[in-house]
A and B are shown apart, each in its own frame.
Chain A
Amino acid sequence: MATTAYKRKPSKSELRRQTVEELVVYPFDWLEERSGLVGGIKYFLFRKVPADINWMQTLGSAALTAFLVQAITGVILAMYYVPSADIDPHTGQPVAWESIVNITDHLTLGWLVRGMHRWGASIFIILMFLHMGRVFLFGAYKYPRELNWIVGVLILVMGMMEGFTGYLLPWDQTAYWATVVGINLNGTAPFLGPWLAQFLRGGQEISGATLTRFYSLHMLVIPGGIIALITLHLYLVIRLGVTSPPWSEDAAGGEPEEADAERRRSGLTRPVPRPAGAQAMQAEPGGSE
């Protein structure tokens, strides 16, 4: 394109500029050629969204950020926290509770990271509820996004399980009795409730085994589930696109073309009857991409 009728010898600064550009681009090209990751990330970051998108639609990202804060602060707290119900013979206090006191009162910046984790937990739950309200009020849970609503509800439930299991870890009176009540509340569920309660306690009574069990659930099992579900949630968001606000003039601006949509549904074993109103979502032939 830049080739013209005559060629001028590039100046020194142009040559240097070229070299620097090549140096910068080379690792990205190397990565892209071998993994396609650069293109994938570009696709994720620069995908098309409706033009009249709303600030409320950033609540999902906000909830994700809150989760990441929980994950990072939690990993660091795990370096100092000791999930042991044993009594420290020197002080007569439980080891778990002492380690929390140590984090809060003695370790540098421990108060801040623990505070971020403690208050961030509430923020995470609140943001999830706000996000859920936005999705509900925008009607963004409707076809074809029902599955994403279901996945989101599962993330909410697991977030609350994180709250329940994390509440026991300080191993003080509040933690202990709140967990007694919480587990017994589960125990009143019909039929399998008593079994669920005994599984959660790891025995007939709350003991040191309950603490280690809750710690494992809190930092390994449930976060793993949440990460998996968030991945699925984001995949569905990217695949199905972002909804326009309900007051949008050009409704369903970002819908995929019909042929594109058919290709995406190629994994189906039989054609799906289009729901009422789906006709309106079809892009005009030869319309915008």
Chain B
Amino acid sequence: MESEQPSPDTEHESAREEAHLPSPTLWPIGFAIGIVVVLVGLIIDPLLISTIGAVIAIVFGFLWARDATAELREERVVVEPERRELPDAGAEDDPHQVTLTPVTDTQVTRSVFLEGATLGLGAAIGGLITIPVAGFAVLPGFLGQELHKVDLGPIERFPLNQWYVATFIVDPTQGEVSKRAAFLRNNGTVADPKTNQQVPSFSIISNRCTHLGCPTQANGPSGLRFTGKPTIKQHTLTGPAEFVPVVPAGYGCPCHGSQFDTEGNRTAGPAPRALDRYAFEINHGRLVLLGTYSVSEVVGTGAQAQIYKYKQAGPGEHINGPEQWLYPLQPPHN
């Protein structure tokens, strides 16, 4: 913008139609770094680091002020002139003629440099902000997923070969939302193949349908009148749990009609595999649920059942056959 009336301090230069600019200087950058160090020091160590920052700021501030006031103090300002090399051919023809040098592709001009610097700096700042924020949006759902053990009480309370619909809270901090149900049966004892000792055996089948995760229901009568066993309600070490005795002919899903037999094998409907099961341990005579695992098929029944186990997969995912290749990478799961 050129103003019509020259301001007092550019009056003597206005004839040359040049902007009155202070000579370029790098000292403000050093001054700014000093201020940053002072501020960081206030957090970390006000005595040491802030002092260092203050020294940096004062030294560079002094140099800056000296530079900025050089003209006022009428010192000679040394400004390096901008040079462009003349093309050789033009110089040979007529050394006195001024030729404009065309900008070639290989030359980085000031404007190209500034353009690149602006874009590059913008990208760097954008990345610095976006990457941690995107990480915060995504990563907490994947990292540090905890396994919640669920205490279901002493094992003697479960009569031999009686199915129960067990409902329990997996994560007490989450409350009702983490309420899960499983079909549970005490199979008595079975010989551990490794130690050859008799260990307790339970069938604990998750009621989550392997189609899309709806709650399957036991097909059959339940309660005291039909089973002769009372419903057990208790508050275990990890929260409330309830056990309703049931005589299942199998399990059925209300959402899309998948059917499963008493061992959880799929017999009808859209589910791709058998029902998932809970791993468990016996801790001081108490039944403790661990995480779930997926099952392709169960052959046999009760303590003698042969369970084809797989890593826990999500509902609707095939775990064997060619369709398993559609899900090569599973997110981290406890």
Q: Select from chain B the residue with minimum beta-carbon distance to A206.
A: B177
Q: Kindly state whether residue A180 has any CB partner on chain B within 8 Å.
A: yes
Bound: A205/B215 CA distance, A: 14
| Residues from chain A with Cβ under 8 Å of B330 in the complex | 194
Also in contact, A199 and B141, with CB within 8 A (given A180-B212, A181-B212, A181-B214): yes
B315 and A199 contacting across the interface, CB-CB below 8 Å: no
Q: Kindly state whether residue B178 has any CB partner on chain A within 8 Å.
A: yes
A191 and B177 contacting across the interface, CB-CB below 8 Å: no
B326 and A191 contacting across the interface, CB-CB below 8 Å: yes
B174 and A184 contacting across the interface, CB-CB below 8 Å: no
Q: Kindly state whether residue B142 has any CB partner on chain A within 8 Å.
A: yes
**Contact pick for B317, options A177, A183, A187, A205, CB 8 Å:** A187
Q: Kindly state whether residue B24 has any CB partner on chain A within 8 Å.
A: no
Minimum CB–CB distance from B12 to chain A (whole Å) comes to: 36
Q: Kindly state whether residue A188 has any CB partner on chain B within 8 Å.
A: yes
A195 and B326 contacting across the interface, CB-CB below 8 Å: no
B327 and A190 contacting across the interface, CB-CB below 8 Å: yes
**Contact pick for A204, options B315, B316, B329, B333, CB 8 Å:** B333
Bound: A191/B176 CA distance, A: 32
Bound: A98/B255 CA distance, A: 26
B145 and A204 contacting across the interface, CB-CB below 8 Å: yes
Q: Kindly state whether residue B328 has any CB partner on chain A within 8 Å.
A: yes
Chain A, range 82-127, C-beta contacts under 8 Å to B: 85-87, 94
Also in contact, A207 and B145, with CB within 8 A (given A184-B314, A194-B330): no
Q: Kindly state whether residue B300 has any CB partner on chain A within 8 Å.
A: no
Interface size bracket, B side: 20 to 34
Bound: A87/B142 CA distance, A: 26
Q: Kindly state whether residue A73 has any CB partner on chain B within 8 Å.
A: no
Bound: A199/B178 CA distance, A: 18
A184 and B316 contacting across the interface, CB-CB below 8 Å: yes
Also in contact, A94 and B317, with CB within 8 A (given A180-B214, A181-B255, A184-B213): no
A194 and B213 contacting across the interface, CB-CB below 8 Å: no
Q: What 15 new A-B contacts, CB under 8 Å, besides A188-B315, A207-B174, A207-B177?
A: A176-B177, A181-B255, A183-B213, A185-B316, A190-B327, A191-B327, A191-B328, A193-B317, A194-B317, A194-B329, A198-B141, A202-B140, A204-B145, A204-B333, A207-B171
* Partner-B contacts on A (CB < 8 A): 85-87, 94, 176-177, 180-181, 183-185, 187-188, 190-191, 193-195, 197-199, 201-209
Offer 29 A-B interface pairs, CB within 8 angstroms, sorted by A.
A87-B175, A94-B176, A176-B177, A177-B215, A177-B255, A180-B214, A181-B213, A183-B213, A184-B316, A187-B315, A187-B316, A187-B317, A188-B212, A188-B317, A190-B327, A191-B326, A193-B327, A194-B313, A194-B331, A195-B329, A197-B314, A198-B142, A198-B331, A199-B138, A204-B333, A204-B334, A205-B178, A208-B177, A209-B140
* Partner-A contacts on B (CB < 8 A): 138, 140-142, 145, 170-171, 174-178, 212-215, 255, 313-317, 326-331, 333-334
